[in-house]
Structure 1
């Protein structure tokens, strides 16, 4: 891996109206989708978030994850339209900055700057749980530190290598989801119509009872979180061929595949379990179903494949994190002395190596933070990111910033429903005192972003936060 850095440009070429083409435009729609799906990790979402939802909400998971899937695809429409108009590296930060305004963009940057490395740490701390089925006595923290180092180094390889590598790992976890689906539908114990009435295990009686509307709303929020990550395709816009036309496809297909590969196995588990009361009463429902239908040996192999899926997700999220910091440095959203080295790319692979390493180092340090604190710190950030994306999609059309490219269907239904759904999530969060600290941290990050913009960036608007277009695409 060639880590020789290109000298960073002192000031982005404002006269040209576009950035210099620094990243390697070498992956197609398929490669982008592979990396994006890897960051979502549908298999680990089913086993961890889906399993938790089954225990808490029973058959309510069917309606909740179906509703969450519709909301997620509508949010994907917003991402797709914005990314088609602004095919610039940097993900949510870049889209919001250009379509909604730099103040909101900087607030989004603050959210992503903290949440991405913390999410990496959360995933890394969970790897030992799955490797533990074969290697006993693993320390979660020591395992996490090793995983973060390995994945950060891997993320510094060129984008095509990472697309191939994450694609191989993704195939393994998709095979695990296919196995769950087949086991459930081959051994159906009840019809699909049994899922239409949401029921949850009543601890007092040990029997199924109707799920309250409030519980269903909570389940929808968990479903939205489980599907999250399809917007990650935008981070690789400057490395995707013909991005102005293809990046929208990458976002939408990532969302559709994610919803299908998570919802269908969960349905199969609910109709294929011998006893729903035992399934919902298990501490690990998905693992319990797998052991029941396939045996302990197969379950162990699948658990190891989930460990690979989690590591794969960490690689993909580290790739995104590096491009976030690189894009912000290139925009001069950071002080000049900090921004200059962070916008450098390697000569051979054209990868933002230093920016990737810095984000990996933050994730490494976060592994020393207790897991419950990490979960609290990242719990509500998604709500604000999606809100800003929906508002950016509206302003993109109505504020005179609309450009040629993909146009979402049924405008303005998608952003309108997204905002309404996020309002519901906000209300549910406010009603749960256990979520107040998480909400407070997210609000603090947003406020810090606005303050940083007002006090530091706005007075320097002639030299900082220069939001230029993507470079013209060249054929390689």
Structure 2
């Protein structure tokens, strides 16, 4: 049976194909949360890499667009819920798919926990005495419940929150650009704070590469559009647009405010030496009252991101269950869709429970467990983007000829090749830095567990292997909404 047919006839109903490109982009951008990325990751980058943030985030933006090209072409050929897992398993095979499934199964709930544990820090400016753990638990429960509503409701909810955080980013950009203290050329020579002298010193190549890595991590999430492929109209055309628009908007929404801060800060030394550089800049230019309001907006942005990631994580588990990549007794309830909301409620709740449990894991362990998995996921996606056209030319079962409306990235195979080179560079830097060994080791262990799961269980399931080898061409005639 063709895979897309299986997708549309899952026990319990089908997902609601009711999102346009705009609705998909709203949810995807909410999961990225550009505002919290600028305040948290961007602020850490300013403290560590100084004006190198300009070049680091600019180069990271180029790499992110290249990876977005890979996602766009893969998703256009395989417009199926499940994100990276669905794409990789159908192009590189179920063994690689199992590894990517384990990455998502572990990292998505842990990311939710990390975000949730940080909400109290920002809400604390308005509500004193919030306990981080209890705040996180309440936020995750509310986000999981919201993620069980129908997809259009979630698009409206996340869109409203997203408007607030984009307004905060616009404020940062305006404050920097109306108080320009130095020319753009001052950013061309990367410099960072020298702790020994308190002045600025040239940033080395290693530091610049780490700034690029920070930027890639900050922009991460545009591939989340793929999770909603079965809920997006005209998916073969629309998903590619949603991925690319999400990546472009994210890069601009983060790079412009950070550049404005670098140009508009009264003193770079004071900016880079502050514990919270972005908040320090905002307070100095807009005052304490505005800063408090913006920090509350950042708390809302984090909650918004948790809702969006809860939506993604539920679809990951739903897709794997539907593919029979889990034991039947576990898969059957997880592969069902609510007949009322047409949402994978059981799968969403299970992932929410895992996220709740993750809140009790020490915070540094959470960070290490998620730190290096992103590079591995991107590596699988870039490799799949290289392989998919070769499968097409050979006429393999999973590499059926692309239809006329399938997206084809420009300059192939340059985007996936350059992406793999960038990812390999990140790995080399990580291996040379003992501080990253634990994070790399945990990521390798997760991937190893995925391959072991395939070897010990999944490859003994002929039905699953046959399903993953099917033709998942997206037949719009079969996708009309009742």
TM category, shorter: over 0.9
Q: Distance in 2 between matches of 1:150 and 1:18?
A: 29
SS in 2 for 1:345: coil
SS in 2 for 1:23: coil
Q: What is residue 439 of structure 1 aligned with on the other side?
A: 440
Q: What is residue 417 of structure 2 aligned with on the other side?
A: 416
Q: Distance in 1 between matches of 2:461 and 2:200?
A: 61
Conserved 8 A contact 1:18-1:471: no
Structure 1 residue aligned with 2:346, among 338, 345, 354? 354
Q: Deviations over 1:18-45 (max 9, x none)?
A: 6427100011000000000000000000
Conserved 8 A contact 1:18-1:470: no
Structure 1 residue aligned with 2:323, among 328, 331, 346? 331
- Give 1:16-415 correspondences, 5 Å limit: 19-20=8-9, 22-400=14-392, 401=399, 403-404=402-403, 405-415=406-416
Q: Distance in 2 between matches of 1:470 and 1:159?
A: 23
Conserved 8 A contact 2:48-2:272: yes
**For the aligned residues, what is the CA RMSD?**
1.4
Q: Distance in 2 between matches of 1:41 and 1:331?
A: 30
Following superposition, the deviation at residue 217 of structure 1 comes to 0.6
Conserved 8 A contact 1:97-1:103: yes
- Change in 2 beyond 3 A, CA 1:463/1:172: closer
Q: Distance in 2 between matches of 1:423 and 1:15?
A: 34
Q: What is residue 4 of structure 1 aligned with on the other side?
A: none
Conserved 8 A contact 1:19-1:470: no
Q: Distance in 1 between matches of 2:362 and 2:219?
A: 25
Q: What is residue 454 of structure 2 aligned with on the other side?
A: 453
SS in 2 for 1:462: helix
Conserved 8 A contact 1:88-1:470: no
Give the TM-score, by structure 2 length: 0.95
Following superposition, the deviation at residue 475 of structure 1 comes to 3.1
Q: Deviations over 1:10-69 (max 9, x none)?
A: xx8779576427100011000000000000000000000000000000000000000000
Q: What is residue 475 of structure 1 aligned with on the other side?
A: 480
Q: Deviations over 1:300-319 (max 9, x none)?
A: 00000000000000000000
Conserved 8 A contact 2:94-2:465: no
Conserved 8 A contact 2:49-2:191: yes
Structure 2: where are the runs of 5+ without partners?
A: 393-398
Conserved 8 A contact 1:238-1:470: no
- Change in 2 beyond 3 A, CA 1:373/1:17: closer
Q: What is residue 395 of structure 2 aligned with on the other side?
A: none
SS in 2 for 1:409: coil
Conserved 8 A contact 2:76-2:239: yes
- How many equivalent residue pairs? 465
Structure 1: where are the runs of 5+ without partners?
A: 1-11
Q: Distance in 1 between matches of 2:17 and 2:121?
A: 37
Following superposition, the deviation at residue 273 of structure 1 comes to 0.5
Conserved 8 A contact 2:88-2:384: yes
SS in 2 for 1:305: helix
Conserved 8 A contact 2:179-2:264: yes
Following superposition, the deviation at residue 372 of structure 1 comes to 0.7
